[in-house]
Amino acid sequence: MSKTIKIISWNVNGIRSVLNKGFREYIKQENPDIICVQEIKALQAQAEINLPEYTEYWNSAQKKGYSGTAIFTKDQPLAVIMGLEINDSEKKLVDKYGDANLEGRVLTAEYANFFVVSVYTPNSKPDLSRLEFRKESWDPIFLEYIKTLEKKKPVIFCGDLNVAHEEIDLARPETNHHNHGFTAEERMGFTNINNAGFIDTFRMFNKAGGNYTWWTPFRGARERNIGWRIDYVCVSTSLKPKIVEAFIRPQIKGSDHCPIGIVFKT
């Protein structure tokens, strides 16, 4: 007998901060089975989540107060993988900013019939100083990682990918073509993910503009809905028939990002 599972993903921009802005109340209202969070900016010992029905897994950055991912889950996973497993010793995730695998950017939970990956993709930075790293290292290595997982069972990955894929995914595409988050290189990185068989679940159900997941905190951008859709839940093609719903929760405050999620049948 099949059941439905709800997964939410949220870049909380600091787990300690969002805990004081309704995080627990939202989780109790949404009642997901699995919670993927990004940009936790803390060690587990520094934040009391106090959601006893969930088991917590954290991949915090070595640098204090920076980056990091976590997964909170009602069902115990079979295994948990910290970081990106890289099979090719020639491939590196190191640039002038350091080793991205020490930034806590990927956390994977394995369940009986699927993997769940919480991911926080490096920002290319306003001066595009990390764009080459994104193009040549991070994006292809992450894609190789999820394709390797997929050889064993289907993959669900979700999080802040720091790219608006199409013009419909941001409010002002015409003025952002050369800005970080909307360069041709970053967009191609997401296209490569799609071409490799991973589906943007939100676009299965909603083809309209005006659906964003991040807003700058300046100039009343959120109130005016001048935003970007840079957070995604993507799934292996084999899971497409099982996806019941994909959603964005722009009304949920507490971070400069809002929660997103899916419901699927097992």
Catalytic residue among 26, 33, 54, 160: 160
Residue 160 bears catalytic tag: yes
Q: Say whether 120 is catalytic.
A: yes
Enumerate residues 6+ apart whose C-beta is below 8 A from 67: 39, 40, 41, 61, 103, 104, 105, 120
139 and 106 Cβ atoms separated by less than 8 Å: no
CB 88 within 8 A of CB 109: no
Catalytic residue among 26, 54, 111, 120: 120
Rounded Cα gap, residues 39 and 60, in angstroms: 9
Tracing tokens 């490096």 back to the chain, one arrives at 122
CA 220 to chain centre: 25
Of 3, 136, 141, 156, which Cα lies nearest the Cα of 71?
156
Q: Which residue has the tokens 């990390």?
A: 130
Question: What is the rounded CA–CA span in Å between residue 47 and residue 41?
Answer: 10
Active site (catalytic) residues = 120, 160
